[in-house]
Amino acid sequence: MLEHLINPEVKDIQISGIRKISNLVSTIPGALTLTIGQPDFPTPRHIIEAGQRALDQNKTVYTPNPGLPELREAVSHFVHVKYGQQYRAADEIIVTAGASEAVDITLRTILTPGAEVILPAPIYPGYEPLIRLAGAVPVYVDTRPNGLKLTAELLAPHLTDKTRCVILCYPSNPTGQVLSERELADLAALLADRELFILSDEIYSELVYGVQHRSIASIGNLREKTIVINGLSKSHAMTGWRIGFTMAPAYLTAHMVKVHQYNVTCASSISQYAALEALTVGIDDALPMREAYVQRRDYVYDRLIAMGFELDKPDGAFYLFPSIAKFGLSSQEFAMRLLQEEHVAVVPGDAFTAYGEGYIRISYAYAQEVLETALDRLAQFVQKL
């Protein structure tokens, strides 16, 4: 055994708490899960057919490292039409193997050992391992004093000479929160003159309810220091197709594409042709899904309030993050007992850093009948506490 020779940073990485509890569901007959952030809608048929055509036409060879030129043009057009963002297809966009690879190549490009990366917490657990693998240090900002939203006031005390990057991920996983125009403007003013990068993960940008999504990259001079990450997993129900993209100024993209090249060479050619269909013919495919998510959000929120949970109604993504503090159980105890006693799986809040303790995450990316049955069982559970 040569385990002692393995990179200690890799050995210290833990399997995601989200996956841990979702994996338990398969061991409990009749259990319902509200854990995974995956649309229950199928990939739109016309996108599947575009992928099938690419196979039939034997489009199974390498593409250019940054992605098909026509797909990068489609990405450029999509974000311009939807959000007013301006990025050149030729040298400011990279098509990646999902948004996760986009985050990875970004962090490996901009981080050096000892650099600090600031993250708003609670937060999706996928960032910290990548930061540590790059030799950098995660620094968490507790957003609980502001309704689980990052503000300039909360961020400012954590900025140091070692700060290399601030990560923004709004709409948020796990909270569903969206930053207001004022909150974005205040953050932009704080960061405008600092020598640091901003990683803005906007994978849920098409799933925003009642407000308009806006990127911090569109404010002032922040475009020159911001890497915007997006993709098709959530907007077009294409999680398994693994298509994401980065948008960043040319001087940054030129270095990021080198990491991407030696990491995966290029994203799947078949998936890229399907993505081209999604961003052109399917430019508005997210709209009917978004309407359904609004109805599900309102239903689940109303049920949780009636049960006595404390939470704010979020404006994005497909998660609710209610407090369980009043029930006197840790998030792990609450989730495990709920699964064992009522056969319903939710994610304990501590899966999203220690700042998520005292909460649970509920995904409403499930069919209405699943939500109704699961919430009936949850109501029975809390009545016993």
Residues 20 and 108 in one domain: no
Which one-letter DSSP state was computed for residue 230?
A: E
DSSP letters, 178-226, are ---HHHHHHHHHHHTTSS-EEEEE-TTTT-B-SS----GGGSTTGGGGE
Domain harbouring 219, CATH code: 3.40.640.10
The reply to whether 213 and 234 lie within a common domain is yes
Q: Are residues 16 and 113 in the same domain?
A: no
For residues 200-213, average pLDDT: 97
Neighbouring residues of 124: CB distance < 8 A, sequence distance ≥ 6: 169, 173, 174, 352
The pLDDT, as a whole number, for residue 11 is 78
Q: What is the per-residue pLDDT for 29?
A: 86
Peptide bond into 348 cis (omega under 30): no
CATH number of the domain encompassing residue 34: 3.90.1150.10
For the cut 70, the answer to whether the pLDDT of residue 315 exceeds it is: yes
**Whether residue 191 is found in the same domain as residue 334:** no
Domain range for residue 70? 45-279
Contact 285, 356 (CB under 8 A): no
Of all residues in the chain, the percent with pLDDT exceeding 70 is 99
204-229: buried (b, 16+ CB within 10 Å) or exposed (e) per residue? bbbbbbeeebbbbbbbeebbebbbbb
For residue 17, is pLDDT > 70? no
Residues 88 and 213 in one domain: yes
Please state the domain count of the chain: 2
Last residue of one domain, picked from the residues 231, 253, 279: 279
> What is the pLDDT averaged over residues 265-277?
98
Indicate the DSSP class of residue 141.
Answer: E
Of the listed ranges 7-21, 121-135, 182-196, 278-292, the least confidently predicted one is: 7-21
Identify the three-state secondary structure at position 109: helix
Q: Which residue has the higher pLDDT, 343 or 20?
A: 343
Q: What's the pLDDT score for residue 120?
A: 98
One domain for residues 269 and 334: no
Q: Which of 18-32, 260-274, 315-329 is predicted least confidently?
A: 18-32
The last residue of a domain, from among 246, 279, 312: 279
- Which of these three, 264, 279, 294, is where a domain ends? 279
- Token readout for 338 is 């709920």
204 pLDDT exceeds 90? yes
Average pLDDT, the chain: 96
